[in-house]
Amino acid sequence: MQETLKQLEIEAIAKVEAASSLKEVNDIRVQYLGKKGPITEVLRGMGKLSAEERPKMGALANEVREQIASAIAEKNEQLEAEEVKKKLASQTIDVTLPASPIKIGARHPLTIVVEDIEDLFIGMGYTVEEGPEVETDYYNFEALNLPKEHPARDMQDSFYITEDTLMRTQTSPVQARTLEKYKGQGPVKIICPGKVYRRDSDDATHSHQFMQIEGLVVDHNISMSDLKGTLETVARKMFGEDREIRLRPSFFPFTEPSVEVDVSCFKCGGKGCSVCKGTGWIEILGAGMVHPNVLRMSGFDPETYQGFAFGMGVERIAMLKYGIDDIRHFYTNDIRFTKQFKQD
Ligand code: PHE
């Protein structure tokens, strides 16, 4: 028995030494030290031995097992180290190699305008709201004082999806949605940038999809002069510090009175040129005092609350600001166009 054990030790260690992979070593471990291996077998047969021989044999078996185990551990370590070395050799990185240049994109001009205006309004304490682009007839029209069959609905040719849902034609439905959310309790100070859709034939100045930024303030003692001051700030931020604005009477069903807002021409300063078509003024947005019906329908008491609202076309502002002559440039995704707006 002693002989068998010694023999096993020599045999196993020789095999371990000859092994060339971690898997092979593991197989040897299972073969010799495993539950079904020969050493376990020997230990099992110890019952037949005499009482003096038993502890001696037990000690020897343990020693043989330890010898084999330590040979395995040593071999494993060696093989692992070799593997790491091989990996390092095959995966060397030449750190002196110049990197391929990273192409950095540019923000889209519409994003630039929206973010500039958002920054301005957030600085004045407004929050930014959003609303769905697929809108109900109720929020897009009815809650804005445009009942069914109202002739002013024709001002905005719409894409209807069902009888009651459509692609929103304006960002104004967010006014109604926001007012409802505030449950008759001011102050409300929000802007809402977003996409809108109208049935229009696309050309240099028309697009069936475009962007608007809506603004809404509802509080006690809000007057037209608050609106004017606010819009003056916007005009100066977008078109230069010495811009003036002027309000012309207009009509929107959800504001009363309603105005169209012009900014003094940033190109000629008001003398008249091709940008302002000789008038010295450029129309930039629609606005007005929130109609009492709109306040009432959305849960605000028009006796105690007043508000102003405005809506501007983002493309129009961007076209004026950057001298872009065709609205379709915004949507054709030509990077030669967007690259020109790289800022930093
Ligand atoms: N929603 C109007 C439009 O699309 C603009 C507007 C907004 C006018 C808010 C007044 C107040 O033409």
- Indicate if ligand 1 lies below 6 Å from the C-beta of 307: no
pLDDT at 270 (0 to 100): 86
pLDDT at 36 (0 to 100): 84
pLDDT at 142 (0 to 100): 96
Q: Which atom of ligand 1 is nearest to the CA of 171?
A: 1
- Cα separation, 178 vs 187, in Å, equals 11
Distances (CA, A) of 157 to 6, 168, 172, 199, 283: 98, 10, 15, 5, 21
Mean pLDDT score across all residues of the chain: 91
- Indicate if ligand 1 lies below 6 Å from the C-beta of 310: yes
Residue 37 has pLDDT above 90, yes or no: no
Report how far apart the first and last C-alpha atoms of the chain are (Å, whole number): 84
Distances (CA, A) of 89 to 69, 80, 93, 342: 30, 14, 10, 43
Rounded mean pLDDT of 54-61? 83
Residue 264 has pLDDT above 90, yes or no: yes
Nearest-CA residue for ligand 1 atom 7 is 311
Q: Among positive and negative, which fits the CA dihedral 144, 145, 146, 148?
A: positive
pLDDT at 16 (0 to 100): 87
Q: Which of 78, 193, 67, 76 is nearest to 129 (CA)?
A: 193
Residue 40: pLDDT band (50, 70, 90) is: confident
Calculate what percentage of the chain has a pLDDT beyond 70. Answer: 100
Are 319 and 294 in contact, with CB atoms under 8 Å apart? no
CA of 214 from ligand 1 middle (Å) equals 7
Distances (CA, A) of 2 to 65, 124, 205, 292: 13, 93, 101, 107
Between the CA atoms of 168, 114, 208 and 330, what dihedral angle is there, to the nearest 10 degrees? -160
Residue 308 has pLDDT above 80, yes or no: yes
CA of 162 from ligand 1 middle (Å) equals 24
Calculate what percentage of the chain has a pLDDT beyond 90. Answer: 57
Residue 70 has pLDDT above 70, yes or no: yes
Residue 193, number of CB atoms within 10 A of its CB: 23
Report the run of H or E that residue 75 belongs to, with start and end: helix 53-90
**DSSP reduced 3-state for 135:** strand
Q: Which of 204, 193, 202, 201 is nearest to 170 (CA)?
A: 193
Residue 198: pLDDT band (50, 70, 90) is: very high
CA of 287 from ligand 1 middle (Å) equals 6
Residue 43 has pLDDT above 80, yes or no: no
Residue 52 has pLDDT above 80, yes or no: yes
How far is residue 303 CA from its own chain's centroid?
Answer: 41
CA of 150 from ligand 1 middle (Å) equals 16
For residues 237-256, b (16+ Cβ closer than 10 Å) or e, as one string?
bbbeeebebebeeeebbbbe
Residue 54, number of CB atoms within 10 A of its CB: 13
- Highest mean pLDDT, choosing among 129-133, 264-268, 322-326: 129-133
- Indicate if ligand 1 lies below 6 Å from the C-beta of 186: no
Rounded mean pLDDT of 279-288? 95
Residue 196: pLDDT band (50, 70, 90) is: very high
- Indicate if ligand 1 lies below 6 Å from the C-beta of 306: no
Q: Which two tokens stand for residue 183?
A: 């449950």
Q: Which of 288, 286, 240 is nearest to 262 (CA)?
A: 286
Residues near 137 by beta carbon (within 8 Å), at least 6 away in sequence: 148, 163, 164, 165, 166
Rounded mean pLDDT of 18-29? 88
